[in-house]
Amino acid sequence: MLQLLAKEDIPWSDVHLFQVDERVAPAGSPDRNLTQLLENLVARIELPPGHLHAMPVEETDLESAAKRYAATLQEVAGNPATLDLVHLGLGADGHTASLVPGDPALEIDDADVAVSAPYQGYRRMTLTLPALNRGLRVLWVVTGAGKAEALARLRRGDRLIPAGRVRGDRTVVVTDTP
């Protein structure tokens, strides 16, 4: 999807890219979302310097890094920070961003960025539900038959899964699953 996006006629000089979430892993790791973003989009477009805002997950003090990322988000996207477009995926367990079932980050309502507990071997930095829900439009990209049940729950607005707690009135869902 990122490679196709890079081919679109978009005024990249007007765009700021923020990450929705990121694994705490070394720079360049194939497990990092940033690695995929750099290789499949940023390397193929003319994004002005300073318009890519990578989550600072390599820092030792992740809580302070999350607060700084939230401040950057606010500097660029207003107070409260409002993103024009939020691109989300969906996990088979109903997670989205790095908001996973049972994680305390899912319940944060007074911050835009949080650090999660370990999930699938990684701690993660993530935008919180308040930040996601202020987005003017949400684009869900859901692939894989293993996510069919979670997708059905998302479409029903099932608030028992994290994805179901993201506003559904401004969403577009692109999926390979009916």
Cβ contacts of 60 within 8 Å, gap of 6 or more: none
For the chain, give the mean pLDDT: 96
Cα 55 to Cα 71, 84, 109, 156, distances in angstroms:
12, 18, 20, 31
pTM of the model: 0.95
pLDDT higher than 80, residue 161: yes
Question: Looking at residue 76, what is its pLDDT?
Answer: 98
Structure-token pair, residue 78: 């207003």
Cβ contacts of 169 within 8 Å, gap of 6 or more: none
pLDDT higher than 80, residue 177: no
CA dihedral 34→135→125→58, nearest 10 degrees, is 40
pLDDT higher than 90, residue 178: no
Domains of the chain: 2-175 (3.40.50.1360)
Question: Looking at residue 116, what is its pLDDT?
Answer: 96
Average pLDDT over residues 89-116: 97
Average pLDDT over residues 154-160: 96
